[in-house]
Structure 1
Amino acid sequence: MTVHNDTVEAAQATPELEQPWEELGLKEDEYGRIREILGRRPTDAELTAYSVMWSEHCSYKSSKTHLRYFGQTATEEMNSKILAGIGENAGVVDIGDGDAVTFRVESHNSPSFVEPYQGAATGIGGIVRDIMAMGARPIAVMDQLRFGPADAPDTKRVLPGVVSGIGGYGNSLGLPNIGGETVFDEAYLGNPLVNALAVGTLKVEDLKLAFASGTGNKVMLFGSRTGLDGIGGVSVLGSANFEEGEERKLPSVQVGDPFAEKVLIEACLELYGAGVVDGIQDLGGGGLACATAELAAAGDGGMRVNLDNVPLRAENMTAAEILASESQERMCAVVAPENLDKFYDICAKWDVTAAEIGEVIDEKDRYVVYHNGEVVVDAPASTIDEGPVYERPFARPEWQDELQRLQPVERPEDLKQALLDMVSSPALCSRDFITKQFDRYVRGNTVKAQYSDAGVLRINEETGRGVAVSADASGRYAKLDPNMGARLALAEAYRNVAVTGAKPVAVTNCLNFGSPENTDVMWQFREAVHGLADGAVELGIPVSGGNVSFYNQTGDEPILPTPVVGVLGVIEDVHQAIGHDLGTVDEPEVLVVLGETKDEFGGSIWQQVSGGGLNGLPPQVDLADEEKLAEFFVGNTGLTAAHDVSEGGLAQAVIEMLLRAGKGVDLDLSKVHEDDFVALFSESASRAVVATTADRVDALLIRADELGIPAATIGATDDSAELTVGGVSLAISELYEAWSQTLPELFGHAVGANSVVE
């Protein structure tokens, strides 16, 4: 059976044919602009290509104008170690001695609400292919998750599927999951956030980029066959608001096969090693339309594509469907004719399907696509790739001033109960139910993962050099003040990396916001971008890339503005990495709080758990203090443990350090703050708790003083197995019980949904 094509010739002959531009997510003026570019109405295939490429997910049409601020503020010195930056598939950082690391975080929010398992699984698959497209071997993944209230029925539907999807795909790939964050808040009910981060390693000279050059070079599609799954997936779903009942949009969600991706990784690495790939692009959001148009737009010629050569797994697919399909585990390469035989041989070795689907032509920017022998697309590649740029109106919300008025902070009548309520809250309780579904040590290079402030990986087995990675965000802080909220996310990720002993060197981000057509949201977005960009300049580390996810809302109610910020650090010897568990030495350990504690409760977990709502100003961070703190940890081998102070305050930090230690401590907080309540639960930034042996305390305090860091000794570990503070004592076993049972009790129905990796 021959599939009907709406050809370019037919489009010229039927200029007034009605087309479903609105259903494809285009605005009326955008459709008019496409007609103006082409000088006629678009074909079905062209309309599809423009619609997916001009979506928010692919084009950044509402965010570009603000994202330029990163480039306007970054200095040449900051970018000196960036081998590939903003605009590439992933940022690549030179970490020294010929080694490079690539990392990126990207959203898969809407698909994960519609079909949690496959949405999350293919989010992992997609971010891993971004890493592969830089010429790197993927070596680890992380995740940033946001759900509605932990006891909400829809959270019980979404969370188990998302966690199983992340574990099912990542574990099957043989990639360790080295960390992440799970947050529960009413604002994410009906619009969860699933942000996936991946890390890869490569030699500096092996860097690959996405462009098509060299007239006569062949365009090769390899990997899985193309099917009907994922049509209108992240590209269209990511540009739409959800209404009740839309969780059944199953055909739009891609279906992943991690074992196909595993062999694709190995095939790619061998292809790179053989030197037969001139340009490379992964297929993710926007499918083949995106991959080929981007390659053509970035190259020095044009491109001819023949869809008749695309390996399919569904019958009678139209040209539009082939172009828009977001079927997983596919890559697109540009290969010189003399290297084709070698290319095919390597793909055959790995049992990876490969097909020549086009070639580079000597017509700059021309993008021509054939199907059934007829031309179905003939357009300038750059106009498909670049999309419109919107200067969306933005304004500080009228309600912002009222929101920032701090309501009286309720103080606990029973401190013991308050400590138990905090550690058992969904905000602060154990994530073991989630993290034990992930393999953390596969590949043998994981140094720190579970119960660590940042994931630490060995990169060079000869020198011991490694990297530390953390990603953080607080939508509560960002709602109160999006500029400061972004700075606080940067500060926490930076601090989490620093307390392991690593030196922070680069930033990535995933900016999750509501509708860009909402002036309040656009103001939040602009403020967050400026806060992050200015903060990076103050810290002197570059933003290597990022992702924007808009339309995260249910109906008219946007999520909390959630700028997820990832930081990569370098540690010269992973054997010196610092953990946060006490009890690793036989003698008592003295605990010292670094940094200043202030009465700061706006957006805090105490405010949330005690029923205080969300109000006030978030903690105010001076990034110069974060720099001092990071400097304290570099090369400091006298520490037995270190833990950042963030959500839940000092109380949570100390409890987490004690939970697995078999030790106790009697805390004296008088030097931290005159008010024990503030000392325990304030979330002031730029703080950490460090531990050392008694003979090294003086040296520690001298080092802190030299750097201008306030330091207060708060106690020493003992064999009591109790936490004593403020006149009350709690057995660590009681705290552990409260901390560990919350998620199993809430999600016990999902036990067995995925294998547990001990």
Structure 2
Amino acid sequence: MNTDSVKRAAETPDEAMPFAELGMKQDEYDRVKEILGRRPTSSELAIYSVMWSEHCSYKSSKVHLKQFATKAPESEALLVGMGENAGVVDIGDGWAATFKIESHNHPSYVEPHQGAATGVGGIVRDIMSMGARPIAVMDALRFGGADQADTRRVLPGVVEGISSYGNCLGLPNIGGEVVFDPCYIGNPLVNALCVGLLRKDQIKLATAPGPGNKVVLFGASTGPDGIGGASVLASATFEDESEAKRPAVQVGDPFMEKLLIECCLELYAADVVVGIQDLGAAGVSCATTELAAKGTGGMHVDLNLVPLRDSSLRPEEILMSESQERMMAVVSPSDIPAFMAICEKWDVPAVVIGEVTDTGRLVMTWDGSVIVDIPPGTAADEGPVYERPFHEPAGQAALNQAVDLPRSEDLRATLLQLLGSPNLASKEWVTSQYDRYVRSNTVLAQPADAGMLRISEVMDGATPTNRGIALATDGNGRYAKLDPYAGAQLALAEAYRNVAVTGAKPLAVTNCLNFGSPEDPEVMWQFAEAVRGLADACKTLGVPVTGGNVSFYNQTGTAAIHPTPVVGVLGVIDDVAKRVRSGFLEPGLRIALLGETREEFGGSEWAHVVHSHLGGLPPEVDLVAEQGLASVMVEAAARGLVAGSHDLSDGGLAIALAEACLARGVGATVSLVGDPFVDLFSESSARALVAVRPEAFEEFAALCASHEVPCYGLGETGGDALVVEGVLAISVAELRDTHTKTLPALFG
């Protein structure tokens, strides 16, 4: 038997430990010693280093994120909020939806295919761990300039990774974003969202109660891939050493994950799971500490029992490995035979590696030696909390000074220039690689404003229903750069609006907050303002934050990305047959613009594309107007008043009109009443374009008036061109050619 490692650690207090190499600061290491009353063993150091990493502990963001709780609006729909693997909301008919978005940014730069693929796999397991069947994924992507060489390296691999993993799982990819900006060169953002469905009385939680209950590790075996990924990649700035960090990128196996999904669902149905946790960031370290901390308080684990792909792995490496497709369950001893039989049926390896205790200690052994003996809550819940200093960036006032940019008189050419620009061009080159309709429950998908799924046929034994859920993600880094408080609110407002224009009522929010280094006071100011803005807006709109992710250190050297809060909104619709489709579906429809247009070009696509300029202020936020617009669209859909819709956002009315024409190849003739340039290219918020059958227009206009939503008749659909009377005329064929050729030309 080896010498007891814990005992030896107590006897050798001055032995040097590689805490700095694992990303720990001196004061953090000193605190670990204070907690333990001795120096840590190498295995204990491995646990604390990953659990106290920025990615796992939120040590720089906790003090701000608590606003999502203190300012949370009352919500009868919210069943599980922040603090669990994913939030859960009641969607009616006895059903609940669980959804969450997370980042896999740094791994996707180092190894684009595997980084993006395992980002999908990780977020899917978060949804599985709530007791749900995953039913769809989405992705919000940001890359450097579309013509930059590194974008051509990263983007194809990321798209390949997302498509291969999601397609193999049989999960439709129903929406998301693809945005290009030079600020993301070297720091792409790969934010993956998953949504799942479960009975609302069958929610599972990450907890380990009941001394004597068994701890089961099941799924793929543990290998050297992803060791320290959470601390190495996601908790430090990026320099030119990505090759050396390849071992920290996980390797995915979607076929094992598919088996794991079906296995978990059968385990839940058999009621043989007391608590469950997926193994993602920090691997076994995270699963054991979090389960124990939320349960009776103790756990004993024999690391020799962990199935390995590489027999040479040391205990520290086993604890830090982020090998994919693994889950940990707490199971009653009497249920172990049934649990193992179900795993065997699905060809999912499963091993009892320990049991729950009431000692209040997480104890691990290796070759008979005690190598870990810690209070689990100190690793899982009591990490360092930093109140980082922050202040407004030195150049913020100058950035916000309005500049009178010259406006082209050729609005036709301007529209085509914007429509063919990488951010506004068709993303079909990307989305065609995703299966959007697998499982046959997708009723809306890209390029619709929001993805929508019917839920009646998703789960075995479900009562037939036409109920559905809608999801959208949005974010604008330029807006947030100009004003992070307003920028975060505009991201929420756009996602909220995108859900509402389909006829679904927005219910809840998830977010992925992508920023530079929290050690930079200017970045921290951006983060603090964005969180404050998002919390305030959620309170006003009545949509709670159910959970999400913070991704810091998205910068190379001192060059940080634009602050990029990405917001996902989930909504519910009683009858998917009454959904509002995107665009102009047929000739002879009345076209109306809802909302007020102001002269707002700060951070706009026009300024970005035509002038390569970023400055001024973003569009004004009007959350009351957003609520009114949403109420109109949800009620209009239920009453069957609207035949088509499209929200107004990037590129303004001009792009919305062009995309509405392209949706079904139906042209339109419209008249403007104000300055044509402002009317066409302003990006004022709280606006939508709708197409209404003539016989319903009066009733629709009255509905708008009842909610104090301005409704302006613009014209009608028909013909084979977009005609803005007295301003421009462009055939639908030319619009389509301009819109579709950009990405294929760039990426082949």
- Which of 254, 270, 293 is the aligned partner of 1:258? 254
Equivalent residue letter for 1:747: F
Alignment of 1:376-525 (within 5 A): 376-386=371-381, 387-461=383-457, 462-525=464-527
Which residue number corresponds to residue 145 of structure 1? 141
Given that 1:114 and 1:248 are in contact with CA atoms closer than 8 Å, whether structure 2 keeps it comes out as no
Is 1:237 the counterpart of 2:240 in the alignment?
A: no
Is 1:7 the counterpart of 2:9 in the alignment?
A: no
Q: How many residues align?
A: 738
| 1:444 to partner: Cα distance | 1.1
Distance in structure 1 (CA, Å) of the matches to 2:718 and 2:377: 67
Which residue number corresponds to residue 560 of structure 2? 558
Which residue number corresponds to residue 73 of structure 1? 71
Distance in structure 2 (CA, Å) of the matches to 1:256 and 1:726: 56
Alignment of 1:348-747 (within 5 A): 348-364=344-360, 366-386=361-381, 387-461=383-457, 462-583=464-585, 585=586, 587-636=587-636, 637-670=640-673, 674-747=674-747
Distance in structure 2 (CA, Å) of the matches to 1:480 and 1:5: 59
Given that 1:420 and 1:738 are in contact with CA atoms closer than 8 Å, whether structure 2 keeps it comes out as yes
Distance in structure 2 (CA, Å) of the matches to 1:280 and 1:492: 35
Given that 1:510 and 1:549 are in contact with CA atoms closer than 8 Å, whether structure 2 keeps it comes out as yes
| 1:6 to partner: Cα distance | 8.2
Per-residue CA deviation, residues 416-472 of structure 1 (Å, 9 max, x unaligned), is 211111000011000000000000011111000022100000113412000000010
Distance in structure 2 (CA, Å) of the matches to 1:424 and 1:726: 23
Per-residue CA deviation, residues 360-395 of structure 1 (Å, 9 max, x unaligned), is 11212x111111111111111011112111111111
Given that 2:518 and 2:553 are in contact with CA atoms closer than 8 Å, whether structure 1 keeps it comes out as yes
| 1:414 to partner: Cα distance | 1.9
Distance in structure 2 (CA, Å) of the matches to 1:643 and 1:114: 37
Q: Which segments of 5 or more consecutive residues in structure 2 lack a partner in the other structure? A: 458-463
Which residue number corresponds to residue 24 of structure 1? 22
Given that 2:582 and 2:663 are in contact with CA atoms closer than 8 Å, whether structure 1 keeps it comes out as no
Given that 2:229 and 2:322 are in contact with CA atoms closer than 8 Å, whether structure 1 keeps it comes out as yes
Equivalent residue letter for 1:539: L
Instruction: State, as a whole percentage, how many aligned pairs show the same letter.
Output: 59
3-state SS in 1 of match to 2:304: helix
Distance in structure 2 (CA, Å) of the matches to 1:373 and 1:410: 76
Which residue number corresponds to residue 753 of structure 1? none
Given that 2:143 and 2:180 are in contact with CA atoms closer than 8 Å, whether structure 1 keeps it comes out as yes
Distance in structure 1 (CA, Å) of the matches to 2:313 and 2:7: 20
Q: Which segments of 5 or more consecutive residues in structure 1 lack a partner in the other structure? A: 749-758
3-state SS in 1 of match to 2:158: helix
Distance in structure 2 (CA, Å) of the matches to 1:244 and 1:390: 28
Given that 1:410 and 1:610 are in contact with CA atoms closer than 8 Å, whether structure 2 keeps it comes out as no
Given that 1:112 and 1:162 are in contact with CA atoms closer than 8 Å, whether structure 2 keeps it comes out as yes
Relative distance call for 1:709 and 1:659 in structure 2 (3 A) is same
Is 1:167 the counterpart of 2:170 in the alignment?
A: no
Distance in structure 2 (CA, Å) of the matches to 1:454 and 1:36: 51
Q: Which runs of 4+ in 1 moved over 6 A?
A: none
Which residue number corresponds to residue 460 of structure 2? none
Which residue number corresponds to residue 87 of structure 2? 91
Distance in structure 2 (CA, Å) of the matches to 1:201 and 1:662: 35
3-state SS in 2 of match to 1:230: coil
Given that 2:601 and 2:682 are in contact with CA atoms closer than 8 Å, whether structure 1 keeps it comes out as yes
3-state SS in 2 of match to 1:613: coil
- Which of 170, 194, 199 is the aligned partner of 2:195? 199
Relative distance call for 1:509 and 1:337 in structure 2 (3 A) is same
Given that 1:723 and 1:732 are in contact with CA atoms closer than 8 Å, whether structure 2 keeps it comes out as no
3-state SS in 2 of match to 1:271: helix
Which residue number corresponds to residue 208 of structure 1? 204
Distance in structure 1 (CA, Å) of the matches to 2:365 and 2:151: 45
Distance in structure 2 (CA, Å) of the matches to 1:409 and 1:393: 36
Which residue number corresponds to residue 752 of structure 1? none
Which residue number corresponds to residue 325 of structure 1? 321
Is 1:272 the counterpart of 2:274 in the alignment?
A: no
3-state SS in 2 of match to 1:610: helix
Distance in structure 1 (CA, Å) of the matches to 2:683 and 2:727: 22
Equivalent residue letter for 1:25: G
Per-residue CA deviation, residues 630-667 of structure 1 (Å, 9 max, x unaligned), is 11012311111000000010011110010143322222
Given that 1:214 and 1:301 are in contact with CA atoms closer than 8 Å, whether structure 2 keeps it comes out as no
For structure 1, which segment, 700-709 or 6-15, has the greater mean C-alpha deviation from structure 2 after superposition?
6-15
Given that 2:131 and 2:204 are in contact with CA atoms closer than 8 Å, whether structure 1 keeps it comes out as yes
Equivalent residue letter for 1:111: P
Equivalent residue letter for 1:628: G
Which residue number corresponds to residue 246 of structure 1? 242
Distance in structure 1 (CA, Å) of the matches to 2:328 and 2:589: 55
Which residue number corresponds to residue 751 of structure 1? none
Alignment of 1:292-331 (within 5 A): 292-331=288-327
Per-residue CA deviation, residues 64-83 of structure 1 (Å, 9 max, x unaligned), is 011111111114x32x3211
Distance in structure 2 (CA, Å) of the matches to 1:7 and 1:445: 54
Distance in structure 2 (CA, Å) of the matches to 1:182 and 1:53: 32
3-state SS in 1 of match to 2:178: strand
Distance in structure 2 (CA, Å) of the matches to 1:424 and 1:247: 35
Distance in structure 2 (CA, Å) of the matches to 1:136 and 1:542: 20
Alignment of 1:48-67 (within 5 A): 48-67=46-65
Per-residue CA deviation, residues 679-716 of structure 1 (Å, 9 max, x unaligned), is 00100000000001222222221211111111111111
Alpha-carbon RMSD: 1.2
| 1:12 to partner: Cα distance | 2.0
3-state SS in 1 of match to 2:628: helix
Which residue number corresponds to residue 336 of structure 2? 340
3-state SS in 2 of match to 1:213: coil
Relative distance call for 1:46 and 1:507 in structure 2 (3 A) is same
Given that 2:127 and 2:195 are in contact with CA atoms closer than 8 Å, whether structure 1 keeps it comes out as yes
Relative distance call for 1:6 and 1:398 in structure 2 (3 A) is farther
Relative distance call for 1:306 and 1:399 in structure 2 (3 A) is same
3-state SS in 2 of match to 1:70: helix
Distance in structure 2 (CA, Å) of the matches to 1:402 and 1:213: 56
3-state SS in 2 of match to 1:541: coil
3-state SS in 1 of match to 2:408: coil
Distance in structure 1 (CA, Å) of the matches to 2:659 and 2:697: 22
Given that 1:489 and 1:565 are in contact with CA atoms closer than 8 Å, whether structure 2 keeps it comes out as yes
Distance in structure 2 (CA, Å) of the matches to 1:723 and 1:239: 52
Given that 1:133 and 1:208 are in contact with CA atoms closer than 8 Å, whether structure 2 keeps it comes out as yes
| 1:175 to partner: Cα distance | 0.1
Equivalent residue letter for 2:364: V
Which residue number corresponds to residue 756 of structure 1? none
Per-residue CA deviation, residues 458-487 of structure 1 (Å, 9 max, x unaligned), is 113412000000010001000100010010
Given that 1:5 and 1:319 are in contact with CA atoms closer than 8 Å, whether structure 2 keeps it comes out as no
Distance in structure 1 (CA, Å) of the matches to 2:671 and 2:629: 22
Equivalent residue letter for 1:566: G
3-state SS in 2 of match to 1:250: helix
TM-score, scaled relative to structure 2: 0.97
Equivalent residue letter for 2:666: K
Equivalent residue letter for 1:294: E
Distance in structure 2 (CA, Å) of the matches to 1:743 and 1:188: 18
Given that 1:676 and 1:726 are in contact with CA atoms closer than 8 Å, whether structure 2 keeps it comes out as no
3-state SS in 2 of match to 1:254: coil
Given that 1:139 and 1:175 are in contact with CA atoms closer than 8 Å, whether structure 2 keeps it comes out as yes
3-state SS in 2 of match to 1:635: helix
Relative distance call for 1:708 and 1:12 in structure 2 (3 A) is same
